[in-house]
Structure 1
Amino acid sequence: MKIRNIFITCIWLAIASADTLQNSDFELPPTDWNETSPAFFPLNGSSIPGWTYDGAVQYVTAGGELSLPRNGHAVLLQEDGKINQTFVANGEEMQYLLTFTLGRRRARNCTANASLVVSAPDSSAQFSLTLKYGKESWEVYGHHLGSWGGGESVNLVIESQDIDAEPESTCWPVVDDVMLSTVGSLKQGDDNLLPNGGFELGPAFPDFPNDGVLLDSEPSLVESALQQWTVTGTVKYIDAKNFFVPEGKAAVEIVSGVSAGVQTAKQLDQGSDYNLEFMLGDANDSCSGVLVVGVAAGSSAQNFTIQSNGTGSAKKYAMTFKGAGPSPTSISFQSYTTTQRDDGVFCGPVIDGVVLKASSGHKSYMQFSFLMTVLLATVLKLGNLM
């Protein structure tokens, strides 16, 4: 256990915080703003340090009609509202992960939520405020922005998405705390065939109390904010500061109900035996009840039932299966229940500590094969010398 904890710590040290965005929390105000300016300040020709904009954009102050994680400032993107910033991806090629806070203005005539579109070169994703997965009036989202390096210039664009509603009745999106983090190449550990089995590599967590970072559906292992895992439905990326995490500093809570979950794939030897270990539990977020998780690995599948009291607990489970081959073997965790807390917030089972190992018999065979290969090479070398 001590060795594993050291390994997890090393992983976190390897995640380089890339706060390359200027004025990422919008606390540096527009050039013509002052303390007496209105709480919703239209940008009419003025500029926000670090950002450019188009369309109807307002610089907003928390309080009153606007609830934000902290009593600061943000931007409101109204009809055709857009902000953008260009940053330079220095050094070797890295995966760039984005975290941002999404909220809206509270108004009596606001009935329909506008969406938010985040884009970068060869990348685009749409986000909508749901307010189903936490107690706050804002949500934090994570997103895989792209992969760059070598001094490339990357233009990040955040804009409102028009909906079929009158502008006066539209809940336009509010954006705050836009953060970048980077992740380098993932390497397989000696004690786990899955590079990110502990879910330690993902988008950055905000430094304020939060309801977790929401990750929407992403079918690609490479383009996922949860590195090396695809996402079905919506899952919540949770940290040990705000939730119960079974192991390490991060885990995944499946929050959007039946058929939601995470999946990965690994090239394994066809027909060989493997052991899959994992931890299931709850996040200490009052998510109580019977939670059912379906685990599938190769052609093997099994359901696991957790009786949760919502106060933070976890248990280790295991199953054996055979490598599929010649294609990569799929490993998935899927929720079979939809669960809500007493306050109506959707919640679900926590997944963590996924460890994949070859069975002891297969290990012995691989070690024997390796030794025989070395022995044969030695004999051939000695024969050539003679």
Structure 2
Amino acid sequence: MLLHYLAPFLLLCAVVQVAVAFTDGLLSNGNFELGPKPSDLKGTRVTSKHAIPAWEASGFVEYIPSGHKQGDMLLVVPEGAFAVRLGNGARIKQKVAVQKGRHSLTFSAARTCAQDEKLNVSVTPESGILPMQTMYSSNGWDSYAWAFRAAVGEAEVAIHNVGREDDPACGPLIDSVAMKELTPPRITNKNLLKNGDFEEGPYIIPNTTWGVLIPPHIEDDHSPLPGWMVESLKAVKYINSPHFSIPRGNRAVELVGGMESAISQIARTIPGKSYALTFSVGDASNACEGSLVIQAFAGKEKMHVPYDSKGKGGSKRAVLRFTAISTRTRVVFLSTYYSTRSDDMSSLCGPVLDDVALISVRR
């Protein structure tokens, strides 16, 4: 009988101490819907490091139900009924059994009462700092992607609030932690660029309607968008067809940060040979109305591609022809203007880029 009553506790200990086998999707209890026992809570604060099933917590960690109020502020849970809040120096971590190679971590985060929130995302021995000063969505939260290369078969995934506030309870809400194994893209005889259709990318949490932010290269050594590098100061948004208008296929990129939102790739070329860079420009059917412009650069050539958006979807094709001047040609796309959605006047938006191809052509 004693073993019968202890079985749930022994199972929980095994989940915490042993790496959980992983498949693409949410980590074990990645949405935090399984919560601590009442005896492991003091108000909303978690008092035991193994109180949250499948996770190990340290520092000022809170378990927050949807609709919880802090003073006059209503705390918004990104998905489901519960999330965790990381106060001063707080950390949550979980061991996951993974295949060697590149993976992408996705999670949702919402700011609360702190202004200078930063998150240290790590998978030993790699780590990166993701600033949260810019909120791209008006609903109060965003989803972020961060990539890493697993060198061994076990990864310890950790999210750590490195901020220090006067109120130790001020910190970001974390929800929907997921992971995906990334497939290395290859060039083909029809495209000298890798992953030109953007079909390979970070995990997008099902039933979420706000896409996933891909951080700048300075904050992530391994891009969650294989083949491409975000070389600007702001993130770009990875979007999917169930919730956005996509020119072709199921995935695309939205350049949401104006001229601070740029992606690039370096392709092998032959000096003196002629090439054509083709791509689609459109809008995501997300009320991003007005004049949208993508600038494209390749070799010594550049072009502006305007798109008059009604905010209801659509796209057009563009071609940039150039002559290679080096064995390596850098292809860059960026948005000219800063835009916000017409339905809330605060969510950042921009032109959609998709179906990018680089081919050799005769003169």
What is the letter of the counterpart of residue 106 of structure 2? T
Partner of 1:274: 275
Q: Contact 1:181–1:204 (CA<8 Å) still a contact in 2? A: yes
Partner of 2:108: 101
TM-score, structure 2 length as denominator? 0.84
What is the letter of the counterpart of residue 56 of structure 1? F
Q: Does 1:330 align with 2:333?
A: no
**Identity value in percent:** 28
Instruction: Give the whole-Å Cα distance in 2 for the aligned partners of 1:311 and 1:20.
Output: 31
Please identify the structure whose Cα radius of gyration is greater: 1
Partner of 1:123: 126
Q: Contact 1:94–1:185 (CA<8 Å) still a contact in 2? A: no
Q: Partner of 1:333: helix, strand, or coil?
A: strand
- 1:288-315: CA deviations, max 9, x gaps? 1112221001111111111111111100
Q: 1:271 to 1:220 in 2, by over 3 A?
A: farther
Q: Does 1:83 align with 2:92?
A: yes
C-alpha displacement of 1:47: 2.0
What is the letter of the counterpart of residue 222 of structure 2? E
Q: 1:141 to 1:20 in 2, by over 3 A?
A: closer
Q: Partner of 1:258: helix, strand, or coil?
A: helix
Partner of 2:286: 285
Pairing 1:108-257 to 2, within 5 Å after superposition: 110=113, 112-130=115-133, 132-144=135-147, 146-148=148-150, 152-163=153-164, 165-167=165-167, 171-218=170-217, 223-231=222-230, 232=232, 233-257=234-258
Q: Contact 1:131–1:137 (CA<8 Å) still a contact in 2? A: no
Pairing 1:24-39 to 2, within 5 Å after superposition: 24-32=30-38
| Unaligned runs of at least 5 residues, structure 2 | 1-21, 69-73
What is the letter of the counterpart of residue 279 of structure 2? F
Q: Contact 2:198–2:253 (CA<8 Å) still a contact in 1? A: yes
Instruction: Give the whole-Å Cα distance in 1 for the aligned partners of 2:307 and 2:26.
Output: 42
What is the letter of the counterpart of residue 357 of structure 1? I
What is the letter of the counterpart of residue 229 of structure 1? W
Q: Partner of 2:258: helix, strand, or coil?
A: coil
Q: Contact 2:78–2:110 (CA<8 Å) still a contact in 1? A: no
Q: Does 1:63 align with 2:67?
A: yes
C-alpha displacement of 1:158: 0.7
C-alpha displacement of 1:152: 2.4
| Unaligned runs of at least 5 residues, structure 1 | 1-15, 362-386
C-alpha displacement of 1:239: 0.7
CA RMSD, 1 decimal: 2.4
Q: Contact 2:25–2:203 (CA<8 Å) still a contact in 1? A: no
What is the letter of the counterpart of residue 254 of structure 2? E
Q: Contact 1:186–1:195 (CA<8 Å) still a contact in 2? A: yes
What is the letter of the counterpart of residue 51 of structure 2? S
Q: Contact 1:117–1:159 (CA<8 Å) still a contact in 2? A: yes
C-alpha displacement of 1:40: 2.2
C-alpha displacement of 1:94: 2.4
Q: Partner of 1:171: helix, strand, or coil?
A: coil
What is the letter of the counterpart of residue 53 of structure 2? P
C-alpha displacement of 1:344: 2.1
Q: Contact 2:26–2:176 (CA<8 Å) still a contact in 1? A: no
Instruction: Give the whole-Å Cα distance in 2 for the aligned partners of 1:210 and 1:128.
Output: 22
Q: Partner of 1:112: helix, strand, or coil?
A: coil
What is the letter of the counterpart of residue 142 of structure 1? A
Partner of 2:352: 350
C-alpha displacement of 1:167: 2.1
Instruction: Give the whole-Å Cα distance in 1 for the aligned partners of 2:274 and 2:102.
Output: 33
Q: Does 1:22 align with 2:21?
A: no
C-alpha displacement of 1:209: 2.6
Q: 1:288 to 1:360 in 2, by over 3 A?
A: same
Aligned residues: 333
- 1:177-220: CA deviations, max 9, x gaps? 10000013322233222120011111111112321111221159
